[in-house]
Amino acid sequence: MSAERYRVGISSSDGDGVIDCDATDTLLRGALRNGVALSYECNSGGCGSCKFDLLEGEVENLWPEAPGLSPRDRRKGRLLACQCRPISDCRIKARVEASAPPIRPSRREVAFVGRKALTPGMAEFRFVSEGAADFLPGQFAMLSLPGIDGERAYSMSNTANEDGHWRFIIKRMPGGKGTGFLFDRLGTGDRIGLDGPYGNAWLREDNERDIVLIAGGSGLSPVVSIVRAITSSERFSGRKVYFFYGGRGPQDICTERILKTLEPSGVELICHTAVSDAALAREAGWEGPRCFVHELVEQTLGDRMPEFEFYFCGPPPMTEAVQRMAMIDYRVPFDQLHFDRFF
């Protein structure tokens, strides 16, 4: 039985459009499935970039307390397109980008195949779907986990393939409901929902610049996907690729283990790691750099920063520090920066 669909009119500074939105979809997902690039980042209620004004009609708000809205937004009646489903035909005013990523998101089921521990709190999870796993390196998917409210965003760590293989590097969050389920209750063969791909921090092929990849903590997954794509494609032959990874303590650093499985064909891959917690570093006898990962990038690249294309992912304080340093201190043009903040 097909679900009910509603017509949603979207007014933006570039003009008006209409989409057909499935009643089970949020307005954001409905728009993206129609190829309309409503502005967004996290698809998880955290960043606020999908804010809209409801001009006509009714919506159901799936997570009224979502942190992406400020008290001022709430006073003005603003809503989040990633958290609202249409319950009638409606009309909204929202920001729309010039173009949507090339692959439209779709839903499927995946079966859990297994996981490999990378650190005491982080593992690479493997799933398989029927049909191809189609996404760009650096993108993410929304996973629906049984009994958990809201879906969780996880970035793929592998590359697109015809065999339906999906991999995700996931960090356990103390007390987290989603990661608690994934690490403690998910069993081999269990099926979960996967909707994707989403995200704007995908690997660009339209320039010849050398590449800087930066990850902090759980931000490793999408940059591993990008490095796997770069090292297996002749398209990037001759490029230098700097890979920076920062963790709290030495036991968080697992990049060597991941990178040694790669065979860089024609690219020069240079890896730098740092830990930020001085006490953990001392305890473990860490002799490498002790600083935040953006400081490591600055010490290594300094004034050369504007020469590179940047991809970075991780917790908001880390991505904001990198963005500030690159744009304000070193004048890297904004269109050379591609990032996901993991709310």
Ligand X SMILES: Cc1cc2nc3c(=O)[nH]c(=O)nc-3n(C[C@H](O)[C@H](O)[C@H](O)COP(=O)(O)OP(=O)(O)OC[C@H]3O[C@@H](n4cnc5c(N)ncnc54)[C@H](O)[C@@H]3O)c2cc1C
- Sign of the torsion formed by the C-alpha atoms of 33, 36, 41 and 46: negative
Query: Total binding residues for ligand FES by CB under 6 A?
Result: 13
- Residue 340 CB partners (closer than 8 Å, separation 6+): 41, 42, 138, 140, 155, 199, 200, 201, 219, 222, 313, 319
Would you count residue 30 as binding ligand FES (CB under 6 A)? no
**Residue 80 contacts which entry, ligand X, ligand FES, none (Cβ below 5-8 A, type-dependent):** ligand FES
Would you count residue 319 as binding ligand FES (CB under 6 A)? no
Would you count residue 156 as binding ligand FES (CB under 6 A)? no
Nearest approach in angstroms of CB 144 to ligand FES is 17
Q: Which of 209, 211, 216 is nearest to 294 (CA)?
A: 216
* Largest separation between any pair of C-alpha atoms in the chain: 62
Nearest approach in angstroms of CB 199 to ligand X is 6
CA gap 298, 244 in Å, rounded: 11
Backbone angles phi, psi at 288, to 5 degrees: -80, -175
Distance of CA 67 to the CA centre of its chain: 18
Quick check: helix, strand or coil at residue 38? strand
Please identify, using beta-carbon distances, which residue of 124 and 309 lies nearer to ligand X.
124
CA gap 219, 324 in Å, rounded: 18
Would you count residue 332 as binding ligand FES (CB under 6 A)? no
Residue that has been written with the tokens 């903040």 in this structure: 341
The answer to whether 68 and 46 have CB atoms below 8 angstroms apart is yes
Candidate ranges 95-103, 166-174, 225-233, 300-308; the one touching ligand X (CB under 6 A):
166-174
Nearest approach in angstroms of CB 223 to ligand X is 10
CA gap 6, 20 in Å, rounded: 6
Binding to ligand X, residues 118-157 (CB under 6 A)? 140, 149-150, 152-155
Binding to ligand FES, residues 72-91 (CB under 6 A)? 80, 82
Q: Is 131 exposed, middle or buried (0-12, 13-18, 19+ CB in 10 A)?
A: exposed
Residue 314 tokens, joined: 């991780």
Would you count residue 311 as binding ligand X (CB under 6 A)? no
Please identify, using beta-carbon distances, which residue of 151 and 298 lies nearer to ligand FES.
151
Binding to ligand X, residues 28-87 (CB under 6 A)? 42, 44-46, 63
Please identify, using beta-carbon distances, which residue of 40 and 286 lies nearer to ligand X.
40
Please identify, using beta-carbon distances, which residue of 297 and 318 lies nearer to ligand FES.
318
Q: What angle do CA 313, 319, 322 make, to 5 degrees?
A: 115
Candidate ranges 34-42, 116-124, 253-261, 332-340; the one touching ligand FES (CB under 6 A):
34-42
- Residue from the set 221, 225, 273, 319 that interacts with ligand X by CB under 6 A: 221
Query: Total binding residues for ligand X by CB under 6 A?
Result: 27
**Residue 340 contacts which entry, ligand FES, ligand X, none (Cβ below 5-8 A, type-dependent):** ligand X
9 forms bridges with which residues in the sheet? 18, 91
Distance of CA 268 to the CA centre of its chain: 25
Burial 140-172 (b: 16+ CB within 10 A, else e): bbbbebeebeebbbbbbbbbbeeebbbbbbbbb
- Residue from the set 29, 78, 85, 171 that interacts with ligand X by CB under 6 A: 171
In eight-state DSSP terms, residue 133 is B
Please identify, using beta-carbon distances, which residue of 112 and 343 lies nearer to ligand FES.
343
Binding mask 38-67 for ligand FES (x = CB under 6 A): --xxxx-xxxxxx-----------------
Nearest approach in angstroms of CB 20 to ligand X is 24
CA gap 327, 315 in Å, rounded: 18
Residues contributing to the site for ligand X (CB under 6 A):
42, 44-46, 63, 140, 149-150, 152-155, 168-171, 173, 176-179, 199, 218, 221, 340, 342-343
Positions that interact with ligand FES (CB under 6 A): 40-43, 45-50, 68, 80, 82
